[in-house]
């Protein structure tokens, strides 16, 4: 194990509180979140439904304001980023489908270059190079002239990952990239993400309900429970017994030997 404090920190939160604020009151969903994401790591964010995974992702991607605490991206606080500057530091893959399915795969991936292109969006030779590289890294080079409405859910997810790669950011954040996919493609997408962190040195954070797969593939995991948000490598989290507290134990329980959840017999 390498000493993590020596590694380059891409994203860091300090005593972060997340939730919703209206004029009348603050609804705190989770508080005292202190996590660090290191360069070149694949990080899985897991937790039960409604525990605040989406809210945490929305907060660190600047869609929603933090209630308290600080978020640092490359040692700079999130609030001080200009929109275009943030677009060069962090790219997203969202759960919502893209608005126009009439776009071709190449066009979608090319839109990832928007923060770098001129006022009318012309692509330079360097842009073409990066787009083609992103298409190859995600194995969708043969799909590039297809329209998005012709693609399966699994192919579309690869296209969205390629688009995020083309945006050329240190950090890629994916919100539940494995929903709607079959078992094979869930594993395929997460394996692809793991390979990308190794090949490109980018940091990839994703939220998922595929805890079994995440334990096998992630360098580090963030586990959200009612009481606390814990972040560590999967092995350590298992030995700490974190996964046992993830869900109510009346139906499923974590089996330490197989490192997966089993239905109670």
Q: Does 9 bind another protein (CB under 8 A)?
A: no
CB nearer to another protein: pick between 21 and 101: 101
Q: Are 256 and 234 in contact (CB under 8 A)?
A: no
Residues 120-179 that bind another protein (CB under 8 A): 120-121, 123, 149, 167
Nearer to another protein, 147 or 191 (CB): 147
The nearer residue to another protein, 12 or 113, going by C-beta atoms, is 113
Residue 19 is encoded by which pair of tokens?
């939730």
Among 106, 206, 243, 254, binds another protein (CB under 8 A): 106
Q: Quick check: 19 and 26 in contact, CB under 8 A? A: yes
Cα distances from 107 to residues 29, 113, 143, 161, in angstroms, run 38, 10, 11, 14
Q: Is 63 in the site for another protein (CB under 8 A)?
A: yes
Q: Residue 60 interacts with another protein (CB under 8 A)? A: no
**Residue 122 Cα distances to 115, 118, 125, 127, 132, angstroms:** 11, 6, 10, 9, 16
Tell whether residue 87 is a contact of another protein (CB under 8 A).
yes
State the DSSP code for 163: H
Instruction: Work out how close the CB of 110 gets to another protein at its nearest, in angstroms, rounded to a whole number.
Output: 5
Q: Which is nearer to another protein, 147 or 236 (CB)?
A: 147
| Closest among 263, 256, 262 to 242, alpha carbons compared | 256
Token pair, residue 46, equals 């897991």
Q: Does 115 bind another protein (CB under 8 A)?
A: yes
- Report in angstroms how near the CB of residue 235 gets to another protein at its nearest: 33
DSSP string for residues in 120-151 = T-PPPHHHHHHHHHHHHHTT-GGGTTSBGGGS
Per CB under 8 A, the list member of 19, 40, 47, 112 interacting with another protein is 112
Binding span for another protein by CB under 8 A among 42-50, 79-87, 202-210, 219-227: 79-87
61 scored as a contact of another protein (CB under 8 A): yes
Nearest-angstrom CA–CA distance, 138 and 134:
6
User: Which lies closer to another protein via its Cβ, residue 164 or residue 224?
Assistant: 164
Rg (CA), the chain: 19
Does position 84 interact with another protein (CB under 8 A)? The reply is: yes
Q: Are strands 76-77 and 68-73 parallel, antiparallel or unpaired?
A: antiparallel
The interface region with another protein, picked from 35-43, 84-92, 187-195, 212-220 by CB under 8 A, is 84-92
**Would you give the distance in Å from CA 113 to the centre of its chain?**
19
Is residue 251 within the footprint of another protein (CB under 8 A)? no
Binding site for another protein (CB under 8 A): 61, 63, 82-88, 90-92, 94, 96-104, 106-108, 110-112, 114-115, 117, 119-121, 123, 149, 167
């Amino acid at each position: 194990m390498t000493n993590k404090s020596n590694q380059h920190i891409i994203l860091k939160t300090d005593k972060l509180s997340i939730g919703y604020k209206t004029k009348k009151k603050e609804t705190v969903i989770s508080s005292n979140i202190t996590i660090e994401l290191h360069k070149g790591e694949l990080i899985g964010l897991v937790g039960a439904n409604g525990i605040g995974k989406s809210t945490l992702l929305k907060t660190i991607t600047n869609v929603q304001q933090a209630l308290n605490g600080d978020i640092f991206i490359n040692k700079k606080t999130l609030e001080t980023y200009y929109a275009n500057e943030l677009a060069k530091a962090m790219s997203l893959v969202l759960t919502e489908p893209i608005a126009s399915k009439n776009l071709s795969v190449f066009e979608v991936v090319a839109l990832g270059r928007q923060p770098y292109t001129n006022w009318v969006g012309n692509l330079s030779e360097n842009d073409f190079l990066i787009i083609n590289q992103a298409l190859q890294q995600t194995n969708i080079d043969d799909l590039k002239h297809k329209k998005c409405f012709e693609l399966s859910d699994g192919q579309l997810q690869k296209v969205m990952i390629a688009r995020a790669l083309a945006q050329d950011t240190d950090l890629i954040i994916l919100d539940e990239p494995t929903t709607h996919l079959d078992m094979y493609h869930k594993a395929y997408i997460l394996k692809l993400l793991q390979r990308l962190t190794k090949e490109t040195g980018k940091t990839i954070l994703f939220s998922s309900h595929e805890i079994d797969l995440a334990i096998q593939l992630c360098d580090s995991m963030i586990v959200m429970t009612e009481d606390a948000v814990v972040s560590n490598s999967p092995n350590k989290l298992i030995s700490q017994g974190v996964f046992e507290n993830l869900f109510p134990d009346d139906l499923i329980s974590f089996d330490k030997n197989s490192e997966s959840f089993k239905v109670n017999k």
